[in-house]
Structure 1
Amino acid sequence: MFELVKAGGWLMLPIIACSVIALAIVIERLWSLRRRRVLPPQLVVQIWQWIQAGELNDARLRALREGSPLGRVLAAGLVNRRSSREVMKESIEETGRRVAHELERFLNTLGTIAAITPLLGLLGTVVGMIQVFSVITAVGVGSPGELAGGISQALITTATGISVAVPALIFHRYFRGRVDELVLDMEQEAIKLVEVVKGERAPTPGVRGS
């Protein structure tokens, strides 16, 4: 492994750094974007039970706000539950935008890594070919060993850059879709809460956990 890195030249270092960062982001986002963590099941039903029992106090709201992203969105609406329907919805939407932004954390970085690692590999190819032509200029084509070094550098950096970029791009697209799905489900649960609190519908089981 070390020999491959050495053969690839100095451009292997930023490519390897990108791969480490991408792996860390993927692991963190897989953990943070679990559905059960973001959207605890039957949370609206539980909140309605607290309201019915007169147990929705500041301590419950604090625990709700700190418990999950969905809880944070719903808590923003519950703070204004005695206001009009419009005020309650506006507070939910404002908090929802911040929560959605937090769910997208690190995704821009992952997308950037997916975009730049092939370019770093291409740069390695260019540097390797420059080295090849420099050798040809200096000693001609009669020194295969000298030529092999530049060609090896060109191929290794390109292959490594693409190997990092492909999974990074796959996970970036996956997480984007995951966030969109979670945000949509949070919107549905928030609307359900507003309608339940305002007496426009009966409480029903909450979001499915997985």
Structure 2
Amino acid sequence: MLELVQSGGWLMIPILACSVIALAIIGERLWALQARRVIPRHLVAQVWHLHRNGQLDAERIAQLRRGSMLGRILAAGLVNMHHDREIMKEAIEDTGRQVVHELERYLNALGTIAAITPLLGLLGTVIGMIQVFNAIVTHGVGNPSVLADGISQALITTAAGLSVAIPSLMFYRYFRGRVDDFVVRMEQEALRMIEVMHGEREREGEG
């Protein structure tokens, strides 16, 4: 492996650096974008149960905010639940934008790695071909070993760049789709909570 890296030339250094960064981002996002950490099941039902039993105090709301991404969004609405529907909705939307930004953390960097590593490999190919032609001009084509270094550098850097770019692009698309799915589901859950809370207060007012 070390011989391959050395044969690829100095461009293997940024390619290897990109691979390490991409691996770290993928591991971190796989851990952070777990459904139980973002959208716990039956959270709105638990909130409504606490509200109906008069147990939805400031401490419970703070625990909800710390528990998950969806909990942060719901807590923003619950803090304003004694205001009208529009204020409650605006508070949820403001917090929702912050949550989406956190869900998308590092994804731009992963997408950049997926885009630049093939270009780094292509650059290595060009440099390797330049070396091959320089060797041909200097030594002719009679000695294949003189040409081997440039050719090997061209092939190794291209292969290395693609080996980093392909999984990076796959995970980038996967995480993007996962974030989009979470955003839609969180929006649905937040709207559901607004309907539940306002409907409950309206029924109590009518009684």
- Indicate the residue corresponding to 1:152 in structure 2: 152
- Indicate the residue corresponding to 1:205 in structure 2: none
Higher helix residue share: 2
For residue 81 of structure 2, give the secondary structure of its aligned residue in structure 1.
coil
Note the residue ranges of structure 1 that are not aligned, 5 or more in a row: 202-210
The CA distance in 2 between the partners of 1:38 and 1:68, in whole Å, is: 5
Equivalent positions of 1:129-148 (< 5 A) are 129-148=129-148
Would the alpha carbon gap of residues 63 and 200 (structure 1) be closer, same or farther in structure 2, given more than 3 Å must change? Answer: closer
- Indicate the residue corresponding to 1:46 in structure 2: 46
- TM-score between both structures, scaled by the size of structure 1: 0.94
Answer yes or no: is 1:15 the counterpart of 2:15.
yes
Q: CA deviation at 1:200?
A: 6.6
Q: Which moved more, 1:51-60 or 1:183-192?
A: 51-60
The CA distance in 1 between the partners of 2:200 and 2:66, in whole Å, is: 27
- Indicate the residue corresponding to 1:77 in structure 2: 77
Higher relative contact order (CA 8 A, sep 6+): 1
Equivalent positions of 1:191-210 (< 5 A) are 191-199=191-199
Over residues 73-92 of structure 1, what are the superposed CA-to-partner deviations in whole Å (9 max), with x where a residue is unaligned?
00000000000001100110
The CA distance in 2 between the partners of 1:21 and 1:95, in whole Å, is: 29
- Find runs of 4+ consecutive structure 1 residues off by over 6 angstroms: none
Over residues 42-67 of structure 1, what are the superposed CA-to-partner deviations in whole Å (9 max), with x where a residue is unaligned?
11111111112221111111111111
The CA distance in 1 between the partners of 2:170 and 2:200, in whole Å, is: 42
- TM-score between both structures, scaled by the size of structure 2: 0.95
Answer yes or no: is 1:169 the counterpart of 2:169.
yes
Note the residue ranges of structure 2 that are not aligned, 5 or more in a row: 202-207
* Corresponding pairs, count: 201
The CA distance in 1 between the partners of 2:59 and 2:143, in whole Å, is: 77
The CA distance in 1 between the partners of 2:60 and 2:138, in whole Å, is: 77
For residue 199 of structure 2, give the secondary structure of its aligned residue in structure 1.
coil
Q: Counterpart amino acid of 2:87?
A: V
- Indicate the residue corresponding to 1:208 in structure 2: none
- Indicate the residue corresponding to 2:205 in structure 1: none
Over residues 141-188 of structure 1, what are the superposed CA-to-partner deviations in whole Å (9 max), with x where a residue is unaligned?
122111000000000000110111011001101100000000000000
Identity of aligned residues (%): 67
Q: Which moved more, 1:106-115 or 1:134-143?
A: 134-143
Q: CA deviation at 1:123?
A: 0.4
Answer yes or no: is 1:100 the counterpart of 2:100.
yes
Q: Counterpart amino acid of 1:18?
A: C
The CA distance in 2 between the partners of 1:41 and 1:112, in whole Å, is: 34
